[in-house]
Amino acid sequence: MARVALVTGGSRGIGAAISIALKAAGYTVAANYAGNDDAAAKFKGETGIPVYKWDVSDFDACAAGVAKVEADLGPIEVLVNIAGITRDGMFHKMTKDQWYAVINTNLNSLFNMTRPVWEGMRARKFGRVICISSINGQKGQMGQANYSAAKAGDIGFVKALAQEGAKAGITVNAITPGYIGTEMVRAIDPAIIEKAILPHIPVGRLGEPSEIARAVVFLAADDAGFITGSTLSANGGQYMV
């Protein structure tokens, strides 16, 4: 029986690429989304991957969502935490709402989503938790104090939880993408990409969502059981740790 994988933010951008790649690798995939019903319906129609709507910043909604997915598809054995938002602004102008919106969605969601699946993974002696952090959680980014703090917190979460899951057969890892050619990034003025972004990326191009997806498939595999607590940088050499 195929392992069940749940991808938060799994119907658009990098999340959609991850959902599609996991399905192609033989997993039974569920894609969570937050609010874009039209995009989610289109994704479901094109891929056949079921979609489930809830807010990952709400613990009770996450618990109910996990229960629904497991009732429909079976126990969740692979969890990919990717759902995230940005509310950028220089810190001296940043509002409380901007700060907490990003922290709640990008960091607190890791607890909200992982806690409901954790005990089942422990009982079955198998689990894969993969958290999509960011290059900006490693190096910081001006105008993104909230986002950088949340994404750095993701890495700390992974390092701590990996130690707890190891003896139960659960691996917990992070991937830190750099600039990836999603719809949002490609909407940036091409001149800005050419002059202000690409010169800082040694490979000379944006990453592709499929490249992040392949990294997720690798970490999700049964054969990746000796890799845990790791942070896999996928940024074209822009920032080397």
Q: Is 100 a catalytic residue?
A: no
CA distance 66 to 81: 13
CA distance 12 to 18: 10
**Catalytic choice (100, 147, 179, 239):** 147
Task: Count CA atoms closer than 13 A to 36's CA, side-chain side.
Answer: 12
CA 30 to chain centre: 14
Q: What is the pLDDT along the chain (241 residues), one digit of tens a residue?
A: 799 999 999 999 999 999 999 999 999 999 999 989 999 999 999 999 999 999 999 999 999 999 999 999 999 999 999 999 999 999 999 999 999 999 999 999 999 999 999 999 999 999 999 999 999 999 999 999 999 999 999 999 999 999 999 999 999 999 999 999 988 788 888 999 999 899 999 999 999 999 999 999 999 999 999 999 999 999 999 999 8
Angle between helices 37-47 and 13-24 (to 10 degrees): 20
Angle between helices 145-165 and 109-124 (to 10 degrees): 10
Using a cut of 0.85, tell me whether the model's pTM lies above it. Answer: yes
